[in-house]
């Protein structure tokens, strides 16, 4: 939407939306004068994100005007990884890409192409769902499975409730007890905090469950600092204790759930608070106290996010946790239940947008978090062409050094669309300059609210930057492809996504979306998705899931210990520490790490408990080396009881090229969690030693 401001007729306001991988999906307003974006602010009309943006995105206009920005297509002239490029024309770039992709297809088949979309933008037109998806589906390339973020939790929760979209997060304002489980709300979901504060004003207690005393934990009434990856054991013990207290909702369990008696007898019996206390490394009394609070406070609202599902047992952890509101019957109370991600509420027409039917449907699916393995080990065919957008895997993915080896392959043709010359960009054969959010069209969904946002371009792109969609249209033409759907405009793509039969989107047109900049999905208010039925095969909450059993993950929800962070691995290597890397307040994924405005993100810091530091004779503020068999990185040591003994804490998002070539992800293993091939970033064991200054 465009409006002229009365005070200054040369100034116009354009409504857009933040594209970053953040639950909040803020709506924003860009003021433009003489063709230049001069101010960016929150769209005050937006019901969820109205007041402010955030410390990360406030300087977005300076970030987009950064003199280091890539403005022209470039071809590599140095060796892979060296980062030397020379400017070329768009014609030269497109000719070379078309020719090289044709050669790969003719020689190895189209599945030798990996179209790799990262989460640098989660916009539906320019990002993970749209952009090049139609072109590569049409060609029959391998498919890209975005396993880096939330997939395990979605899979786990869908076995019990049928959807990861539980209660509307806004309804936490009506909870009598709020559990923030594995989420640092004040940093990673900050627009939810006012709803939690409203519950508090009404007398609700706020409990944070997190191995680290985060900002959110520090502002909570109670903090349970459990061992990383032991969440499932804690949830089982809480349910055990609720039964001991006689606080289960027997009518609800009898009428609305499947398999309760077996789950109670077989699973809960094994997890009395004392046993869970040993596993989780907390006091038994803390578990009993929290169970008593849940029993006494109806309803309890649980907010969980991605942090607690980056372990070996990630899917089971969410599956188990989602059982808690079924035991108390809180799923049918306003302000009760559990929210993980509202993404499934959107019901947009994904298949139409990405052109799922344009090519063969049975092409192989490659996991984003297995990039190193994919490049080095895949056969029949090997990956011989990598076309990547919105991704910086050397900074963001597990096993950094392995990815470097994969990208160094001389026979790999690598095209990257980027804004800046990242570590990953240093390995590209062709580097293409992409537009930023104020310069292109996009449509944004949230995983924390029920509003669909529109992003109208506000300014002309600088240099020769192009939207991702336009690059792929031009590439299709250069490859002489006749399929008309490959040339649809961005508005056509948005219309295709909105063309859904689902009632949630009924009456929501592109025109209505553009007119206001956002629109609430057609769900009732309040949104209580499981009031009438669960979206499972039985229509009930499924403690017992034959689907899960058929998928090989067990008939009942259960506790799966982490592979490295706690338990057997800990016992085998008592000198090592579990290492978790939460979000940095100033960075998002690896975005902004090169921006002078985000200097406050600082250099990597690792926090150790005073007992762990003393045992290793480490000094506060000194330089340390953190290492395991996969790799190592350097950081400054901070000694604090913000973390528990046995657990080291750092933050993610720094660029290796600013930090001696390696960051936390040099130590993380490229391994799948128990469900949906999710990444295991927090299931990591390292040693720490002093390093030379
Ligand atoms: S990063 Fe999150 S909080 Fe910040 S502007 Fe974007 S959506 Fe909003």
Residue 598: pLDDT band with limits 50, 70, 90: low
Dump pLDDT digits (tens) for 159-188. 999 998 899 999 999 999 999 999 999 999
Q: Once rounded to an integer, what is the mean pLDDT over residues 430-453? A: 97
Nearest CA to ligand 1 atom 4: 54
One domain for residues 534 and 491: no
Rg (C-alpha) for the chain, rounded Å, is 25
One domain for residues 161 and 145: no
Distance CA 362, CA 357 (A): 11
Please indicate whether residue 200, judged by its CB atom, sits closer than 6 Å to ligand 1: no
Q: Once rounded to an integer, what is the mean pLDDT over residues 608-619? A: 96
pLDDT at residue number 2: 54
337-339: strand order across its sheet: 222-224, 205-209, 177-181, 300-304, 337-339
Please indicate whether residue 56, judged by its CB atom, sits closer than 6 Å to ligand 1: yes
CATH assignment at residue 397: 3.40.50.740
Q: Distance, CA 54 to ligand 1 centroid (Å)?
A: 6
Q: Once rounded to an integer, what is the mean pLDDT over residues 399-424? A: 97
Say if 231 falls within a structural domain: yes
Q: Once rounded to an integer, what is the mean pLDDT over residues 315-339? A: 97
Say if 141 falls within a structural domain: yes
pLDDT at residue number 682: 93
Question: What is the number of the ligand 1 atom nearest to the C-alpha of 18?
Answer: 6
Question: What is the number of the ligand 1 atom nearest to the C-alpha of 60?
Answer: 5
pLDDT at residue number 627: 97
CATH assignment at residue 184: 3.40.228.10
Question: What is the number of the ligand 1 atom nearest to the C-alpha of 25?
Answer: 7
More confident residue, 2 or 250: 250
Q: Once rounded to an integer, what is the mean pLDDT over residues 14-18? A: 98
Share of the chain above pLDDT 70, in %: 99
Question: What is the number of the ligand 1 atom nearest to the C-alpha of 19?
Answer: 6
* 272 contact partners, CB below 8 Å, separation of at least 6: 237, 240, 241
Distance CA 498, CA 662 (A): 42
Q: Once rounded to an integer, what is the mean pLDDT over residues 41-61? A: 95
One domain for residues 93 and 179: no
pLDDT at residue number 600: 73
One domain for residues 240 and 299: yes
Structure-token pair, residue 250: 């027997």
HSE (side-chain half, CA atoms, 13 Å) at 450 = 21
Question: What is the number of the ligand 1 atom nearest to the C-alpha of 24?
Answer: 7
pLDDT at residue number 179: 98
One domain for residues 176 and 138: no
Q: Distance, CA 590 to ligand 1 centroid (Å)?
A: 14
Chosen domain end from 520, 542, 560? 520
Residue 602: pLDDT band with limits 50, 70, 90: confident
**Mean predicted lDDT score pLDDT of the chain:** 95
One domain for residues 362 and 351: yes
Q: Distance, CA 28 to ligand 1 centroid (Å)?
A: 10
One domain for residues 94 and 197: no
* 450 contact partners, CB below 8 Å, separation of at least 6: 168, 342, 345, 520, 521, 523, 527
Q: Once rounded to an integer, what is the mean pLDDT over residues 48-54? A: 93
CB 51 within 8 A of CB 403: no
Q: Once rounded to an integer, what is the mean pLDDT over residues 473-491? A: 97
What are residue 468's phi and psi, to 5 degrees? Answer: -55, -45
One domain for residues 444 and 366: yes
One domain for residues 189 and 297: yes
CB 606 within 8 A of CB 647: no
Whether residue 137 has pLDDT greater than 60? yes
Say if 66 falls within a structural domain: no
pLDDT at residue number 575: 87
Dump pLDDT digits (tens) for 486-517. 999 999 999 999 999 899 999 999 999 999 99
Q: Distance, CA 20 to ligand 1 centroid (Å)?
A: 7
One domain for residues 280 and 211: yes
Where do the DSSP E strands lie in 273-424? 300-304, 337-339, 365-367, 385-389, 413-418
Ligand 1 pocket test: pick from 15, 17, 21, 22 the residue with the most ligand atoms within 8 Å of its Cβ.
Answer: 22
pLDDT at residue number 192: 97
Say if 168 falls within a structural domain: yes
Dump pLDDT digits (tens) for 278-309. 999 999 999 999 999 999 999 999 999 988 88
Share of the chain above pLDDT 90, in %: 91
Q: Which residue has the tokens 């007041």?
A: 51
Residue 338, classed as helix, strand or coil, is strand
Nearest CA to ligand 1 atom 8: 26
Dump pLDDT digits (tens) for 623-658. 999 999 999 999 999 999 999 999 999 999 999 999
Q: Which helix (H) or strand (E) holds 353?
A: helix 350-354
One domain for residues 135 and 103: yes
How remote is the C-alpha of 534 from its chain's centroid?
A: 25
One domain for residues 325 and 416: no
Question: What is the number of the ligand 1 atom nearest to the C-alpha of 191?
Answer: 3
Ligand 1 pocket test: pick from 19, 46, 49, 120 the residue with the most ligand atoms within 8 Å of its Cβ.
Answer: 49
Please indicate whether residue 26, judged by its CB atom, sits closer than 6 Å to ligand 1: yes
Structure-token pair, residue 515: 């007119």
Residue 693: pLDDT band with limits 50, 70, 90: confident
Burial of 640 (0-12, 13-18, 19+ CB in 10 A): middle
Q: Which helix (H) or strand (E) holds 219?
A: none
Of 243, 292, 245, the residue nearest 263 (C-alpha): 243
Please indicate whether residue 54, judged by its CB atom, sits closer than 6 Å to ligand 1: yes
Please indicate whether residue 249, judged by its CB atom, sits closer than 6 Å to ligand 1: no
Please indicate whether residue 57, judged by its CB atom, sits closer than 6 Å to ligand 1: yes
Residue 602, classed as helix, strand or coil, is coil
Q: Please give the full DSSP string across 40-67, using - where no structure is assigned.
A: EEE-TT-TTT-S---TTTTTHHHHHT-T
Nearest CA to ligand 1 atom 5: 53
CATH assignment at residue 652: 2.40.40.20
Distance CA 39, CA 11 (A): 10
Please indicate whether residue 563, judged by its CB atom, sits closer than 6 Å to ligand 1: no
Q: Distance, CA 26 to ligand 1 centroid (Å)?
A: 5
Please indicate whether residue 186, judged by its CB atom, sits closer than 6 Å to ligand 1: no
Question: What is the number of the ligand 1 atom nearest to the C-alpha of 588?
Answer: 1
More confident residue, 573 or 205: 205
Q: Distance, CA 643 to ligand 1 centroid (Å)?
A: 27
Say if 4 falls within a structural domain: no
Say if 41 falls within a structural domain: no
Given the DSSP bridges, would you call strands 337-339 and 300-304 parallel, antiparallel or unpaired? parallel
Distance CA 539, CA 572 (A): 44
Q: How many domains does the chain have?
A: 3
Distance CA 99, CA 183 (A): 46
Say if 18 falls within a structural domain: no
Residue 566: pLDDT band with limits 50, 70, 90: confident
Torsion of CA 361, 503, 537, 529, to 10 degrees: 130
pLDDT at residue number 308: 85
Of 463, 466, 471, 594, the residue nearest 71 (C-alpha): 463
Say if 292 falls within a structural domain: yes
Domain span at residue 664 reads 568-690
Query: CA-CA distances (angstroms) from residue 387 to 61, 280, 360?
Result: 28, 43, 19
CB 271 within 8 A of CB 236: yes
Q: Distance, CA 51 to ligand 1 centroid (Å)?
A: 12
pLDDT at residue number 307: 86
Nearest CA to ligand 1 atom 7: 25
Structure-token pair, residue 321: 């946790």
pLDDT at residue number 253: 98
């Amino acid at each position: 939407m465009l409006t002229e401001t009365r005070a200054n007729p040369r100034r116009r306001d354009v409504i857009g939306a933040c594209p970053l991988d953040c639950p909040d999906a803020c709506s924003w307003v860009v003021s433009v004068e003489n063709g230049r974006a001069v101010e960016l602010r929150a769209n005050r009309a937006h019901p969820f994100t109205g007041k402010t943006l955030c410390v990360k995105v406030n300087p977005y206009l300076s970030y987009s005007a950064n003199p280091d920005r890539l403005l022209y297509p470039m071809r590599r002239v140095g060796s892979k990884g060296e980062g030397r490029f020379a400017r070329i024309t768009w014609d030269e770039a497109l000719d070379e890409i078309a020719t090289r992709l044709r050669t790969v297809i003719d020689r190895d088949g189209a599945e030798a192409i990996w179209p790799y979309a990262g989460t640098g933008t989660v916009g539906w037109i320019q990002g993970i769902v749209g952009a090049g998806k139609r072109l590569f589906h049409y060609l029959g390339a391998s498919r890209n499975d975005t396993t880096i973020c939330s997939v395990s939790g979605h899979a786990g929760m869908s076995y019990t409730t049928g959807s990861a979209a539980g209660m509307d997060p806004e309804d936490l304002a009506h909870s009598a007890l709020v559990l923030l489980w594995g989420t640092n709300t004040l940093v990673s979901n900050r627009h939810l905090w006012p709803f939690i504060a409203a519950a508090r004003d009404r007398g609700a207690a706020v409990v944070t469950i997190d191995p680290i005393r985060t900002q959110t934990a520090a502002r909570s009434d109670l903090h349970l600092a459990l061992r990383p990856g032991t969440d499932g054991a804690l949830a089982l013990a809480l349910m055990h204790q609720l039964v001991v207290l006689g606080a289960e909702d027997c009518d609800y369990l009898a009428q609305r759930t499947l398999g309760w008696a077996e789950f109670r007898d077989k699973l809960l019996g094994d997890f009395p608070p004392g046993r869970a206390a040993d596993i989780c490394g907390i006091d038994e009394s803390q578990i009993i106290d929290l169970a008593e609070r849940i029993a006494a406070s109806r309803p309890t609202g649980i907010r969980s996010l991605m942090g607690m599902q980056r372990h070996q047992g990630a899917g089971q952890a969410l599956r188990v946790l989602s059982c808690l509101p079924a035991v108390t019957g809180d799923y049918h109370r306003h302000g009760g239940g559990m929210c993980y991600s509202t993404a499934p509420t959107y019901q947009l027409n994904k298949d139409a947008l990405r052109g799922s039917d344009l090519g063969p449907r049975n092409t192989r699916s490659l996991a984003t978090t297995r990039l190193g393995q994919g490049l080095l080990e895949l056969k029949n065919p090997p990956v011989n062409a990598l076309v990547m957008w919105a991704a910086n895997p050397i900074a963001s993915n597990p096993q950094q050094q392995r990815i470097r080896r994969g990208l160094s392959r001389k026979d790999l043709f690598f095209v990257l669309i980027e804004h800046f010359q990242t570590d990953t960009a240093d390995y590209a054969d062709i580097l293409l300059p992409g537009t930023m959010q104020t310069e292109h069209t996009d449509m944004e969904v949230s995983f924390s609210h029920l509003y669909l946002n529109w992003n109208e371009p506000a300014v002309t792109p600088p240099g020769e930057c192009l939207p991702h969609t336009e690059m792929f249209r031009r590439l299709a033409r250069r490859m002489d492809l006749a399929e008309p759907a490959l040339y649809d405009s961005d508005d056509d793509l948005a219309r295709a996504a909105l063309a859904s039969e689902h009632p949630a989107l009924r009456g929501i047109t592109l025109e209505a979306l553009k007119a206001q900049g956002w629109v609430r999905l057609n769900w009732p208010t309040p949104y209580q998705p499981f009031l009438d039925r669960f979206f499972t095969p039985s229509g009930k909450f499924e403690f017992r899931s034959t689907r899960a059993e058929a998928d090989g993950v067990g008939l009942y929800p259960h506790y799966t210990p982490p592979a490295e962070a706690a338990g057997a691995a800990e016992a085998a290597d008592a000198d090592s520490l579990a290492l978790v890397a939460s979000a940095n307040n100033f960075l998002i994924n690896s975005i902004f790490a090169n921006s002078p405005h985000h200097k406050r993100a600082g250099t990597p810091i690792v926090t150790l408990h005073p007992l762990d530091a003393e045992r290793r004779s480490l000094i506060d503020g000194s330089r340390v080396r953190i290492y395991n068999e996969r790799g190592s990185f350097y950081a400054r040591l901070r000694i604090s009881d913000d973390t528990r003994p046995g657990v080291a804490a750092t933050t993610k998002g720094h660029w290796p090229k600013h930090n001696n070539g390696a960051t936390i992800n040099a130590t993380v293993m490229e391994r799948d969690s128990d469900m949906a091939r999710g990444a295991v970033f927090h299931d990591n064991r390292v040693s720490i030693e002093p390093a030379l200054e």
